[in-house]
Structure 1
């Protein structure tokens, strides 16, 4: 099983692509997630759409808008509201987790490997097979 983050951007206009991915792939949609963190004393959120693995191929895509949206628990905002509204419309809950920021990792790929490990441990993703 290959699980990989696919970064769309930081959540400005690319947020609309993330929402379309969720709507158009409802049959494959597994989770919608908000990953909260702090960067330079700023509370930010990454929004993630997790699709079910392909069959055949066993590839699981996690589409992300990384750390560009204000954390809605500290600063309510329309971008998060759109994400939550889309989740509600398609019958999903937004799962929220607090994670370390990408800035503490030397490479973005290490950050995404760290997140995959956290999501596996919390049973949002299937374990490595």
Structure 2
């Protein structure tokens, strides 16, 4: 099964699209995740929805807003609160991970491969098949 990050943006206005995706398809949400890092001296969060695999079990999308939302443990913010509210309505809790920022990787795709490894190791994604 292919698991792929679909980046909606960096969390400014696109976070509302992520919330809309989760609100319209709550039954497809497998996990909600917040990745925390420090990027350029600022505590940031990336918010993601891991969706259930497609009916044929060949693709599992992971929608993400990358590093544009302040870390809510450092500075409370409405965007994170709205994301958390949506996940609670869907019956999910937000899992939290502290990670390296994307700018330490030479390519964004390598950053996403790193996150897939973290999610697999913590059993949020099934092993390669």
Look up the match of 1:115.
115
Look up the match of 2:45.
45
Q: How does 1:60-99 map to 2 (within 5 A)?
A: 60-99=60-99
Deviations, residues 58-78 of structure 1 (Å, cap 9, x unaligned): 100000000000000001111
Look up the match of 1:19.
19
- 1:57 Cα shift? 4.8
* Residue ranges of structure 2 left out of the alignment (5+ in a row): none
TM-score normalized with structure 2 length: 0.97
Runs ≥4 in structure 1, deviation > 6 angstroms?
none
Distance across 2 between alignment mates of 1:100 and 1:127 = 22
- 1:41 Cα shift? 1.4
- 1:81 Cα shift? 0.5
CA contact (8 A) 2:27 2:90 kept: no
1:30 matched to 2:30? The reply is: yes
Look up the match of 1:58.
58
Aligned Cα RMSD in Å? 0.8
Distance across 2 between alignment mates of 1:59 and 1:94 = 22
**SS of residue in 1 equivalent to 2:68:** strand
**SS of residue in 2 equivalent to 1:27:** helix
**SS of residue in 2 equivalent to 1:128:** coil
Look up the match of 1:103.
103
Number of aligned residue pairs? 129
